[in-house]
Amino acid sequence: MLQPWRTGKVIRITDETASTKRFWIQVPELESFDFTPGQFVTLDLPIHEKPNKRWRSYSIASWPDGTNVFELVIVLLEGGAGTHYLFNEIKEGSELTLRGPQGVFVLPDPVDRDLFFICTGTGVAPFRSMSYHILNQQVPHQTIYLVFGCRKFGDALYGAELRDLETKVSSFRYIPTFSREEPGEHCTGYVHKVYESICTENKLPSAENPDLLVPKPAYFYLCGWKDMIDEAKQRIQGLGYDKKSIHQELYG
């Protein structure tokens, strides 16, 4: 069911990186803003006469906590009318017109396989929401691999928080990989070699033929730029996984 347009109040804004801000939005008319991790909201911004030119959708970066507040993480896009409005005109106390939650990019039920969350940029937002929801609600699960493609160290949104989470939860693995950093103790390059390496190492003997190794069951969730998602879908199927194992959320 399509949600009605509501008024949200921006109660907090912080800089996450030089070009990325976190916005906490309260929906005063609701006691609780209920959503499923992975869903998004649409903002109606006063930047154009035509409604469809004003609408901008963003994945919710927080997790359901019973309050009427949720978080968005937004990157400033060069020439982007929507993000320039949000960065330059919106202050703490500003109101926004919004609709949501929306979307079907949500966790499987049950979470009975390994989860690969593969993302670039602010595509980490729904996976932060999903990961914390699984862990906070003690949802039975296998291993969670959050593979985050960044250019430089400073681009790893929520990096310190996710590294800390990895130290506390043995089933959660946070693997950022940096395409424009020199090799070191961190991963370098693109996301594809990271999940391909894990999947290759995790193969299991086939039930029909124990001498034959087959891919360990897994779900793949992809969020980010189209080029990354298109390449990932091809590579994941090349590893032997079915198309039905792959879920995607495009942006840009």
User: Once rounded to an integer, what is the mean pLDDT over residues 199-203?
Assistant: 90
The residues, ordered by sequence, that sit 6+ positions from 142 with a Cβ below 8 Å of its Cβ are 111, 112, 113, 114, 115, 171
Residue 136 has pLDDT above 60, yes or no: yes
User: Once rounded to an integer, what is the mean pLDDT over residues 18-35?
Assistant: 96
What residue has token string 């690969």? Answer: 116
Contact of 151 with 178, CB cutoff 8 Å: yes
pLDDT tens-digit map of 228-237:
999 999 999 9
> Please, what are the domains in the chain?
5-102 (2.40.30.10), 114-250 (3.40.50.80)
pLDDT of residue 209: 86
Residue 250 has pLDDT above 80, yes or no: no
pLDDT of residue 157: 94
Residue 180 has pLDDT above 80, yes or no: no
Gap between the Cα atoms of 200 and 215, Å rounded? 7
pLDDT band at 13 (very low <50, low <70, confident <90, very high): very high
pLDDT band at 252 (very low <50, low <70, confident <90, very high): low
* Mean predicted lDDT score pLDDT of the chain: 92
Gap between the Cα atoms of 61 and 103, Å rounded? 14
pLDDT tens-digit map of 49-90:
998 899 999 999 999 999 999 999 999 998 899 999 999 999
pLDDT tens-digit map of 102-125:
999 999 999 999 999 999 999 999
- Pairing mode of beta strands 95-102, 172-178: unpaired
pLDDT tens-digit map of 166-179:
998 899 999 999 87
Which of 153-157, 177-181, 202-206, 220-224 shows the highest mean pLDDT? Answer: 220-224
The residues, ordered by sequence, that sit 6+ positions from 189 with a Cβ below 8 Å of its Cβ are 177, 179
Report the percent of the chain where pLDDT is more than 90. 77
pLDDT of residue 203: 87
